[in-house]
């Protein structure tokens, strides 16, 4: 028997769950998100479950989710060319 997740939304695959969470955070009413989830993923997840997921799982476990999903990338030693950055005075002078 598989272990049960905290809620139905948490039990979804990562990309599906992430897309649902971003849609809820975008400001769309939860009732509309419920019908959007039904059309987009062919899932029946009620607005009550979406609210409970937001209140319990996202707010209560935010610190743990950051650990599980990984931290921010570390700074690189390489210097990349930025086309929007204007060259400095030292770079524009010709050596000859």
**Model pLDDT, residue 1:** 44
Residue 96 scores a pLDDT above 60: no
Residue 81 scores a pLDDT above 70: no
pTM of the full predicted structure? 0.57
In whole angstroms, what separates CA 30 from the centre of its chain? 18
Dmax over CA atoms of the chain, in Å, equals 75
Q: How far is CA 13 from CA 20, 42, 48, 68, 76, in A?
A: 11, 14, 20, 14, 31
Q: Give the residue with greater pLDDT, 85 vs 54.
A: 54
In whole angstroms, what separates CA 7 from the centre of its chain? 18
Percentage of the chain exceeding pLDDT 90: 40
Percentage of the chain exceeding pLDDT 70: 55
């Amino acid at each position: 028997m598989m272990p049960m997740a905290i809620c139905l939304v948490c039990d979804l695959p990562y990309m599906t769950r992430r897309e649902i969470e971003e849609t809820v955070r975008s400001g769309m009413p939860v009732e509309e998100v419920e019908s959007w989830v039904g059309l987009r993923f062919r899932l029946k997840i009620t607005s009550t479950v979406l609210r409970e997921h937001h209140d319990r799982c996202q707010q209560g476990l935010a610190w743990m989710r950051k650990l599980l999903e990984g931290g921010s990338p570390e700074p690189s030693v390489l210097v990349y060319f930025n086309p929007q950055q204007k060259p400095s005075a030292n770079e524009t002078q010709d050596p000859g």
